[in-house]
A and B are shown apart, each in its own frame.
Chain A
Amino acid sequence: MLDPHTPPYLSKKRSLLSARGEMSELMASKDWSKTLLGDIDLWPQSLLTATSIILNSKFPMFIFWGREQICLYNDAYRPSLGINGKHPNILGMPGEKAWPDIWHIIKPMLDGVMAGGEATWNEDQLIPIYRNGELEDVYWTFSYSPINDESGKPGGVFVTCMETTEKVFMLHNKDEKENELNTLIRKLEKSEEKFRNTVKQAPTGIAFFRGKDFVLEMANKNYLQLIDKEESAVVGKPMFEFVPEVEEIVRPLIENVLLTGIPYTDDELKVVLNRYGKAEEAYFNLVYQPFFEADGRVSGVMVVANEVTASVKSKLGLKVNEEKLRLAIEGTSLGTFEIDLLTNAIEYSDRYLEIYGFQPHEQPTRQEVIDRLYEEDKVIRLHSFEEALVSGMLEYEARVISTDTITKWIRVRGKIIYDNDNKPIKVLGTVIDITKEKNTLRLIEESEVRLRLALEGTRLATWDLDLQTRNILYSPRLLEIFGHDKTKILTHQEMRNQVHPDDIHAVVEKAFAEAEETGMYYYEARIIKPDKTISWIKTHGNMIFDNNKVPVRMIGTLSDITESKTIEESMAKMAAIVQSSGDAIIGKTTQGIITSWNDAAENIFGYAAEEMIGQSIYKLIPEDRVDEELLIMGKIKSGERLKHFETKRLRKDKTLIDLSITVSPIKDSNNNIIGASKIARDITSQKKTEKLITENQYRLNTAIEAAEMGTWELDMVTDEVQYSQRYLEILELDPSRHPTHDEIITVIYPDDLPLRNKMIKEAMEKGTLEMELRIITMQTKSIKWVKSRAKVFYDTNGKPLKMMGIILDITAEKMKAEELRTREEKFRLLANSMPQLVWTSDTEGNLNYFNQSVYSYSGITKKQMEEKGWIQIVHPEDRDENIKKWMQSVKTGKDFLFEHRFRKHNGEFRWQLSRAIPQKDPNGNIQMWVGTSTDIHEIKESEQQKDLFISMASHELKTPITSIKGYVQILLSMHNDSNDTFLKNSLFTVNKQIGVLTNLIGDLLDMSKIKSGSLQLNREAFNLNSMVKEIITDMEHTEPKHDFIFNAGKDVELSGDKERIGQVLINFLTNAIKYSPNSNIININSTIEDDYAIVSVADKGIGINKADQQKIFDRFYRVEGKDEKTFPGFGIGLFIASEIIQRHKGKIKVESEPGKGSIFSFLLPLEK
C-alpha cells in the first residue's frame, strides 16, 4: 500500500527520507544534483541513515557531512535558525559558507571529531549566530559525534544540540553560577580560618612525664589513643623510647620546660607519628606544663594535647578540594529530556539515564524514572510540576536512589511548552547531578559544628590538684580565666572562693562527689572575678586513686564558656522578647519567604504563625505598594537597614493598617545576608493621635484667637518674657518698646500687687497660676480687669524653669458681674418690700431665694427653709400635684401656674396662686426662674360660693322655665290649627328662646361643675349612630328651617356618658346653625378611623381664622363676625364640649376656613 504522502516518483533511497515535516519535504524537493553532495541516489548509505534519523527525531539535530561539511538539519533544529536567517539557504551548503560567523569556534571541534577524536560535550556555550535579522547571543548545549561512513572512518559529524539561551538567561547566568560556587568556597575558607587558631577539643590527651628522661608516669586513655599504644607498653618508659619519631621536634621544647619551669604552649604543632601501622603527619594544640615539687624544683612535665590534624588537613586540602569541586561542577554534564504531556512519553539523553542510574541501553518509562526518586522527594517533584504548569518554569532538587553510600542529589530544570490554546503540551528540560554541590554544603555545615566544638575548647587552662595537700598547679591561662594577672598565685581555696555561692554545692561539690564514683570530673559553673563580673567556666578532669581506691589527685582542663553561655541566655532572652514584643517581628528570606512570625504579628495582621510561615511576604503588601517592597528588599540585599518607614499593609480581613516598619538584614555567622527581619508597629492609633494633636493645636489657636487671649511665656531663670501681640494690646503697652518683665509689672494696680506676688509664689509650688488683677492703663489711666492663667515648668531637680500662660481682658465681664450684683441687690430690696411671696429658682428647679414675705407668712426661719425645703409650707394634699406641675414647667420651660394652699405661721392654710416665669438670656436659654405667690384665699372662697350659687340658681331657674315652656307648648298645641299666624309665630319664638335659655342654664351649671371638679360621667354602653339620629330628630323639631344630613358610618357600640356626648353634638349643631346665617345645610358624618369613632359636623358658615382656631375651646371665647356683629351665647359651649370629650379620653378638633365654613369633630376611643 502506498503512503499517500510519498510521491510515486521517489526512488527507494529517497523514500528513506520520507518523514513528515517541513525539512523532509524540503529535502525531497531539493535538487541535490546542484550541491556538492550530488543526487540523493548517489548518497552513501551512512549519510542516508543519519539523515533519516535526524528527520524522524524531535530533538534538534544537525549533520556536517564530508570534507566540505555540508549542512543538513531537522525540523526541531529549524527554530534555532530564527526568522530571516540561515534557513532554508544553508541546507546543502558547505559549513564554512553556512556558518562564517562561528566557523572559528566550531571548525576545530569538527576537525577533532573528523580526525577520529572523542565526541565533544559543550554546555551552555555562547555561540552567537546570525538570525532574526541580526547577530544574536545564543547559548547552546551540544555534542559533536562522528558518523562513520562505509569505510569505518568518520564521514561526517552528527550534532545534537539544544539551544539553552532561555535557560541561561532565565534560570542562571553562568557568571552567577560561578559566584554561587565561589560563595560556597569562601564560606568554607572562612570557617576554616576561624578553625585554625582553635584547639580542637576532645579528646584531650593528658600525660605526666617525670625526670630528665621523661618517664611516663601516668597517661589517660585519650593520650594512649593519640599515640596508638597500650598502657602497659609505655608506662614507666621514657617518652622518646615509645615515640622516638617525635624526639627531634619535642625534646628541645619539653627539656626547656623542665629546665626553666616556664610552660610551653603551641598550636598546630606538626609531628610525624608512627601509629595505626603507618607514619603519618599529625597536628596538635598542646601545653607542656612544668610540675613543681615542694622545694620549687621542676621534677616533671605534664602534657595536655588536643589533636587537630583533621581540621588542619581539611584546611590545607581545601585549595585542592576547591579546584576539584569547581571542575566537578563545571564539568558536570546535563542530562536532557523531553516529556510529551499528552502521551506521557519521554525522550532523554544517555547522560540523563546515567544520572538516574540506568544503563544506556535501557528505555525506562517516565514512571520508572520517577520511581528512582526518594519516596519523600516524589512529592516535591509532583508539587514542582504542578507549579510549573502554571508558571511555565520547572525547577526542583531531589534525591535519586543509588547504590553509592553518598546520597545522590539531582537538580531538574525545565520549561513548559504550550499550544496556541495555552494548553501545556510539552516539557523540555535538563537534569544535573548536584551531589558534590550538596556535599560541599554539608561539609560547610559540618565544619561549623566542629568550629563550635573547637570554640569550647579554645584556650584551655590546665590544672593539677593534690587532693591530700590541696596544692594546685595550673597553667597561666587559668589565672586569666579567673581574672588575675599572671603574677598572682592562687591557692585552691581562693579559687573555690571565687565560685558563685549558688554553684558551690549544687554544681562543684556535686561534680566532685560524682568524680569519686566515676573518676570523671565535669561541671559548668559561675565564678566571680575580682572586678565583680561573672564568668562561666567549664571543667573536665580525671580523678586518680591510690591502691586503696582513695582519691589522691585530680588533673583536668578548664575553659571560659561565658560567651557561649551568654549567647545561649541572650538567645533565650531574645526569643522571649521577640515573642512577647508588642511589635510584629517577622523574619523573611531574601526571596521574601516568611520564616518567623511572632504573637504580635498575629495580632496586628490577623494571620496565625502557621498560616504565614513559608508564605510570601507579598501576601501582606497592598497591590499598589509592591514596588515599595522591591525597593526595600533591594536595600536589604545591599546590607542597608530601613528605619521607621511609615507605610500601609494588608490584614487578613483585607483592611489596611498603618504601620511603621524597620527592616534589618539578617546575616549568618559569616556576614552573608540571608534574609531580613521586619519589625512592624501598628501606628493606627499614633496616626490618630497625630491627627488629633494637629487638630487640637488648631483648635487651641482658634480658641485663643476667638477668646481674644494674649499669650505669654516667662523664663524664670533670666526673667525674660515673651508675649503675643494681643498680650500687649490687652495691657495697652506699646509694642515698639518691647517692654521688659519689670515694666509690665508697673501697670498692675498697686493694691493688687501683693496679691499678685502671693499668687506667683504659690504657683511655683502648685504648678499652676490663676488670678484676676486690675491694671491701670498707661494712656487713659483707666482701670481694667485681666485674668491670668499659667502653668509652671520645672527642670529635673524640680526647679521652676518657665511659666507659660495666657491673659484675658475680663473688664466687661467684671463690669457686668458688678452690674448684676447691684441689680440683684435692687431686686432683693424690691422683693423684700413686696407683700407677695417672691422666690427664685435655678434652672434645675431648686428654689434658692425667698423674699422676706415668705418667712413672715410661714413663720419659719431661713435655716428651716434650707433644711426642709419650701414644700413643707404646701398643704399635704397639694404637694404631689405641686411638685409634678413644677417639674413639668422646669422641664418644658413653660410658665408655671398653680393654685395651692400654704400654711400660715398660725397653722391656717390659705390659697395661693403661684406663678413663675423663666428668665432667659438673649439666646433664649433659661437662666433662672422668678416666681410669686399671691394670696387668693378670699377670691377662691368667693368663687366657691359663686359656683355653689350657680349650681343652686340653675336648678331654681329651671322650675319657672319648665312651667313657662310647658304652657307655651300647650298653647302651641292648642293653636296648631289656628289661622292666627302671629300668635303661632310668637309662641314658637318663645318656645325656641326658652330652649336657648335652658341650654345657657345647663352650660352655666356645667361650667361650675367643671370648675369644682364635680362634672360626673354616667358611663353606659350606647350605639353612637342611634344617639346621633335621636339628637338630629330633636334638632329638627326646634330648627325646622335647617336641613340636617346625616351620613352614618359603621354601627359601633361605645361606652360613655351618652347624654354628655349628645350635649357635645348639640353644641356642635347649635354652633353650626348659629354661625351659618346664610346657609341652612348641615352635614353630619360618623366614621371609624384607627381606634376612634369620629363624629363631625360641617357647616357652610362664616368659618374661623387660624389664630382663633387655637382659642375656641377656651373659656369665654367667642367668634366674632366681620361686620362686628356679635353672635349670641356665652361662648362656653365649646369649652364644656372639649372638657367632656377629654374626660372620655377623646379628642376634639376643628378645621375651618374663614368664609367657607367649619368642620367640628370629636373622636372617641373604641372599646378594646
Chain B
Amino acid sequence: MNNQNVHVLIIDDNEDILFMLRSMFQFKGYQVTVKENADDIENFIMGLSPDIILMDMLLSGANGSELCKQIKSNMDIASIPVVMISAMPHADKICLEAGADYFVSKPFEMDKMISTVAGAVENRNPVI
C-alpha cells in the first residue's frame, strides 16, 4: 500500500509533539490528521475513518486508556489499529490492557515509530 493512501490520525495535547509527529509521518508520505484534544472523539473518528490512530496516553481532560477502551468498544471504529505513546513508566501495560494494538514509549526512535505504524496498518483486519 502506498503511504499516501494511509490516513493517520494523531491525537496529542502537546502541540510540539503533535506537529513533530505530523512532520515525521508527512515526511514519510502519510496522509495525516491531527487532533489536540479528546473532544467528541468517537464521532470524529467515525467521520474521518482513519487507517490508524496514534494517541498519547495522557491527554488533558481525558484518560488516553479510557479513550482507547471507548474506541475499541465502538463496533464501527474498533477495527482501526490504535498505537499509543507515553513517557510514563509502565504505560505500555496500561495501554495494551485498554485495548491498544501497539505501544511506543517516549522518547522514541523515528524508525521504530514509522515501522510500528506501517506494521500496524499492514496487519489490520482487511476491510473489503
A residues adjacent to B (C-beta < 8 A):
955, 958-963, 965-967, 969-970, 972-974, 994, 998, 1005, 1009, 1016, 1018, 1034, 1037
Question: Shortest CB–CB separation between residue B21 and chain A, in angstroms?
Answer: 7
Inter-chain contact B109/A969, CB cutoff 8 Å: yes
A962 is contacted by which of B17, B27, B88 (Cβ under 8 Å)?
B17
**Chain A positions within 8 Å of B87 at CB level:** 955, 958-959, 962
Bound CA span A974–B27, Å: 8
Query: B27 — nearest CB in chain A belongs to which residue?
Result: A970
Query: A967-B23, A970-B23, A974-B27 known; A959 and B110 CB under 8 Å?
Result: no
Query: A960-B16, A974-B27 known; A965 and B107 CB under 8 Å?
Result: yes
**Chain A positions within 8 Å of B16 at CB level:** 959-960, 963
Question: Shortest CB–CB separation between residue B86 and chain A, in angstroms?
Answer: 9
The 3 closest A-B pairs by CB, nearest first: A969-B110, A958-B87, A966-B20
Inter-chain contact A966/B89, CB cutoff 8 Å: no
Inter-chain contact B108/A962, CB cutoff 8 Å: yes
Inter-chain contact B27/A973, CB cutoff 8 Å: yes
Q: Is B24 an interface residue (CB 8 A)?
A: yes
**Chain A positions within 8 Å of B110 at CB level:** 966, 969-970, 972-973
Q: Is B14 an interface residue (CB 8 A)?
A: yes
Q: Considering the complex, which residues of chain B in the window 1-40 have a beta carbon less than 8 Å from any beta carbon of chain A?
A: 14, 16-17, 20-21, 23-24, 27-28
**Chain B positions within 8 Å of A955 at CB level:** 87-88
**Chain A positions within 8 Å of B24 at CB level:** 966, 969-970
Inter-chain contact A958/B107, CB cutoff 8 Å: yes
Query: Interface residues of A: mostly helix, strand, loop or mixed?
Result: helix
- Most central of B23, B106, B107 by chain A CB within 10 Å: B107
Query: A956 — nearest CB in chain B belongs to which residue?
Result: B87
Inter-chain contact B20/A963, CB cutoff 8 Å: yes
Inter-chain contact A1018/B109, CB cutoff 8 Å: no
Query: A998 — nearest CB in chain B belongs to which residue?
Result: B107
**Chain A positions within 8 Å of B107 at CB level:** 958, 961-962, 965-966, 994, 998
Bound CA span A532–B23, Å: 140
**Chain B positions within 8 Å of A963 at CB level:** 14, 16-17, 20
**Chain B positions within 8 Å of A973 at CB level:** 27-28, 110
Inter-chain contact B90/A959, CB cutoff 8 Å: no
- Listed by A's residue number, 15 A-B pairs whose Cβ atoms lie within 8 Å are A958-B107, A961-B107, A963-B14, A963-B17, A965-B108, A965-B109, A966-B21, A966-B23, A967-B23, A970-B20, A970-B24, A994-B107, A1018-B93, A1034-B109, A1037-B109
- Most central of A959, A960, A1005, A1034 by chain B CB within 10 Å: A959
CB within 8 Å: A-B pair count: 60
Count of interface residues, chain B, beta-carbon cutoff 8 Å: 20
Question: Shortest CB–CB separation between residue B76 and chain A, in angstroms?
Answer: 31
Bound CA span A965–B23, Å: 13
Bound CA span A741–B56, Å: 104
Bound CA span A25–B88, Å: 136
Query: A1015 — nearest CB in chain B belongs to which residue?
Result: B89
Question: Shortest CB–CB separation between residue B103 and chain A, in angstroms?
Answer: 11
**Chain B positions within 8 Å of A972 at CB level:** 110
**Chain A positions within 8 Å of B88 at CB level:** 955
Inter-chain contact A1016/B17, CB cutoff 8 Å: no
Binary contact track B68-108/A, C-beta < 8 Å → 1, others 0:
00000000000000000001111001000000000000111
Inter-chain contact B17/A959, CB cutoff 8 Å: yes
Bound CA span A970–B90, Å: 27
**Chain A positions within 8 Å of B89 at CB level:** 1005, 1009
Bound CA span A955–B87, Å: 6
Query: A966-B17, A966-B20, A1018-B93 known; A959 and B106 CB under 8 Å?
Result: yes
Question: Shortest CB–CB separation between residue B4 and chain A, in angstroms?
Answer: 17
**Chain B positions within 8 Å of A974 at CB level:** 27
**Chain A positions within 8 Å of B106 at CB level:** 958-959, 961-962
Bound CA span A1005–B88, Å: 11
Inter-chain contact A959/B14, CB cutoff 8 Å: yes
**Chain A positions within 8 Å of B108 at CB level:** 962, 965-966
Bound CA span A529–B28, Å: 144
**Chain A positions within 8 Å of B21 at CB level:** 966
Query: A957 — nearest CB in chain B belongs to which residue?
Result: B87
Question: Shortest CB–CB separation between residue B102 and chain A, in angstroms?
Answer: 15
Bound CA span A961–B88, Å: 14
Query: A1034 — nearest CB in chain B belongs to which residue?
Result: B109
Query: A965-B107, A969-B109 known; A1018 and B17 CB under 8 Å?
Result: no
Bound CA span A1009–B111, Å: 30
Bound CA span A1016–B90, Å: 9
Bound CA span A158–B58, Å: 150
**Chain A positions within 8 Å of B14 at CB level:** 959, 963
Question: Shortest CB–CB separation between residue B107 and chain A, in angstroms?
Answer: 4
Question: Shortest CB–CB separation between residue B55 and chain A, in angstroms?
Answer: 14
**Chain A positions within 8 Å of B93 at CB level:** 1018
Bound CA span A1009–B88, Å: 13
Bound CA span A972–B88, Å: 27
Query: B15 — nearest CB in chain A belongs to which residue?
Result: A963
Bound CA span A1016–B21, Å: 30
Bound CA span A967–B21, Å: 9
Question: Shortest CB–CB separation between residue A1019 and chain B, in angstroms?
Answer: 11
Known: A955-B87, A963-B14. 19 other contacts (CB 8 A): A958-B87, A959-B87, A961-B106, A962-B87, A962-B106, A963-B20, A965-B107, A966-B24, A967-B20, A969-B110, A970-B20, A970-B27, A973-B27, A974-B27, A998-B107, A1016-B90, A1034-B109, A1037-B109, A1037-B111
Bound CA span A859–B9, Å: 66
**Chain B positions within 8 Å of A1018 at CB level:** 90, 93
Query: B108 — nearest CB in chain A belongs to which residue?
Result: A962
**Chain A positions within 8 Å of B109 at CB level:** 965, 969, 1034, 1037
Question: Shortest CB–CB separation between residue B88 and chain A, in angstroms?
Answer: 6
**Chain B positions within 8 Å of A967 at CB level:** 20, 23
**Chain B positions within 8 Å of A961 at CB level:** 106-107
Query: A968 — nearest CB in chain B belongs to which residue?
Result: B110
Question: Shortest CB–CB separation between residue A1011 and chain B, in angstroms?
Answer: 15
Bound CA span A963–B106, Å: 9
**Chain B positions within 8 Å of A994 at CB level:** 107
Bound CA span A960–B16, Å: 8
**Chain B positions within 8 Å of A962 at CB level:** 17, 20, 87, 106-108
**Chain B positions within 8 Å of A958 at CB level:** 87, 106-107
Query: B110 — nearest CB in chain A belongs to which residue?
Result: A969
Question: Shortest CB–CB separation between residue A611 and chain B, in angstroms?
Answer: 86
**Chain A positions within 8 Å of B90 at CB level:** 1016, 1018
Bound CA span A974–B16, Å: 19
**Chain B positions within 8 Å of A965 at CB level:** 107-109
Question: Shortest CB–CB separation between residue A150 and chain B, in angstroms?
Answer: 149
- Most central of A967, A1005, A1016, A1018 by chain B CB within 10 Å: A967
**Chain A positions within 8 Å of B111 at CB level:** 969, 1037
Bound CA span A998–B107, Å: 7
Bound CA span A1157–B50, Å: 53
Question: Shortest CB–CB separation between residue A1027 and chain B, in angstroms?
Answer: 16
Question: Shortest CB–CB separation between residue A770 and chain B, in angstroms?
Answer: 72
Query: B93 — nearest CB in chain A belongs to which residue?
Result: A1018
Question: Shortest CB–CB separation between residue A350 and chain B, in angstroms?
Answer: 129
Question: Shortest CB–CB separation between residue A1033 and chain B, in angstroms?
Answer: 11
Bound CA span A1009–B89, Å: 10
Question: Shortest CB–CB separation between residue A1039 and chain B, in angstroms?
Answer: 14
Bound CA span A685–B24, Å: 99
Question: Shortest CB–CB separation between residue A49 and chain B, in angstroms?
Answer: 139
- Most central of B23, B28, B89 by chain A CB within 10 Å: B89
Bound CA span A388–B106, Å: 113
Query: B19 — nearest CB in chain A belongs to which residue?
Result: A963
- Most central of B17, B28, B90 by chain A CB within 10 Å: B17
Question: Shortest CB–CB separation between residue B105 and chain A, in angstroms?
Answer: 9
Question: Shortest CB–CB separation between residue B82 and chain A, in angstroms?
Answer: 19
- Most central of A966, A972, A998, A1005 by chain B CB within 10 Å: A966
Bound CA span A970–B30, Å: 14
**Chain A positions within 8 Å of B28 at CB level:** 973
